[in-house]
Structures are given as structure tokens and as C-alpha cells.
Amino acid sequence: MMTMMAILVFGGAMLAVGYALVATIMPQADRIVAVLRGQAAGPRFEPLSTLVRAERRIAVRRWAAGATMAPSYRLREAA
């Protein structure tokens, strides 16, 4: 009985590990095979460099817009 329980527990754990490996590797399988064959890898996703470029673009636009006067708020009397 204990042998059967051990087989079920460890078998289930092995299935979970196998599923996790397949679920994480299969979306990138084409890239992995291409690199193993010696082909150049495709373009990489680099969110930080994209963010840096966007921040620079925003800074340049603000600089090019020049200084603007802040609107003046006057207190108005109640009618």
C-alpha cells in the first residue's frame, strides 16, 4: 500500500515538473532550435531600452516646447 502511495505521489510530482518544463520551453522552442543550429537569434524584447527612448523623446519635446507661463489664478469675489 505504501509503495502504491509513493508511486502516486512521486508520479504526480514528475508529471507536474514535466508540464512546467513543457509550458515554459515550448513557446520559445523555435528560438532554442535556431540557436542550437547556429543561426542568429531574432530580435529580443528589451522593455528598458524602449522605455529609455520614450523618456528621451518626451524630454526633447518638453525642451523644444520652450518655457510656458503658468496660468495665474485670481481669487474672485462671490456675487
pLDDT tens digits along 4-27:
999 999 999 999 999 999 999 998
Q: Which whole-number Å values give the CA distances from 63 to 48, 50, 69, 71, in the listed order? A: 22, 20, 14, 19
Domain boundaries, the chain: 2-64
DSSP 40: P
Alpha-carbon torsion 13, 17, 23, 26, what sign?
negative
Say what the pLDDT of residue 68 is: 63
Rounded to two decimals, the pTM is 0.43
Higher pLDDT, 65 or 16: 16
Mean per-residue pLDDT over the chain, rounded? 84
Range 63-78 average pLDDT: 69
